[in-house]
């Protein structure tokens, strides 16, 4: 009986681990090809083309146009601990007309800060979140 219980515990532990996502930080280079393959265009990780804040992010920056034309900028911070300061940088450097709408156009997922030109379509936001890769 004890042997069966031990095998059952081992199988459950293995099965539970199969769905665990990596804790490695997301990166611009790792995420770019996924966005391209899901209909995003003009995808770039060039630091000179992604904007000042994303261009200096620890794990790179990315800019892309969604299928509807909404421009997405992603800054990939060193860790989730750096997200708040990156969000504050985006808020403080945003045009006055956007500052009151930042909660509509900005979100974070682990170490990635996503900023859109206008409130994103839920499907496009979901695609962008699912395309975040180490």
Q: Are 134 and 110 in contact (CB under 8 A)?
A: no
Percent of the chain clearing pLDDT 90 (strictly above): 78
**How is the chain split into domains, by residue range?**
24-130
pTM across the whole model: 0.83
CA distance linking residue 56 with residue 113, whole number of Å: 13
Select from 58, 63, 62, 66 the least CA-distant residue to 29. Answer: 62
Q: Is the pLDDT of residue 12 over 60?
A: no
Per-residue pLDDT reduced to its tens digit, 80-109: 999 999 999 999 999 888 888 999 999 999
Q: What is the chain's alpha carbon radius of gyration, rounded to the nearest angstrom?
A: 18
What torsion, rounded to 10 degrees, do the Cα atoms 30, 31, 32, 34 define? 110
Percent of the chain clearing pLDDT 70 (strictly above): 84
Question: Among 15-24, 28-37, 44-53, 118-127, where is mean pLDDT lowest?
Answer: 15-24
- Give the mean pLDDT of 103-124: 96
Q: What is the band of 21 on the pLDDT scale with cuts at 50, 70, 90?
A: low
Tell me the C-alpha to C-alpha distance, in Å, between residue 30 and each of 33, 40, 45. 7, 15, 10
CA distance linking residue 4 with residue 7, whole number of Å: 5
Other Cβ atoms closer than 10 A to 35: 23
For residue 115, which phi and psi values (nearest 5 degrees)?
-130, 130
Six-digit token string for 52: 């000042």
Per-residue pLDDT reduced to its tens digit, 43-77: 999 999 999 999 999 999 999 999 999 999 999 99
């Amino acid at each position: 009986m004890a042997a069966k219980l031990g095998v059952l515990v081992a199988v459950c532990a293995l099965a539970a681990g199969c769905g665990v996502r990596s804790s490695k930080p997301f990166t611009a280079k790792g995420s770019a090809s996924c966005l391209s393959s899901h209909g995003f265009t003009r995808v770039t990780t060039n630091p000179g083309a992604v904007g000042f804040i994303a261009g200096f992010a620890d794990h790179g920056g990315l800019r892309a146009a969604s299928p509807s034309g909404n421009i997405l900028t992603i800054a990939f911070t060193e860790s989730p601990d750096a997200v708040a300061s990156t969000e504050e940088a985006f808020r403080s450097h945003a045009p006055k007309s956007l500052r009151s709408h930042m909660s509509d156009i900005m979100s974070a997922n682990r170490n990635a800060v996503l900023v859109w030109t206008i409130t994103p379509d839920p499907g496009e936001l979901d695609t962008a979140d699912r395309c975040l890769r180490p």
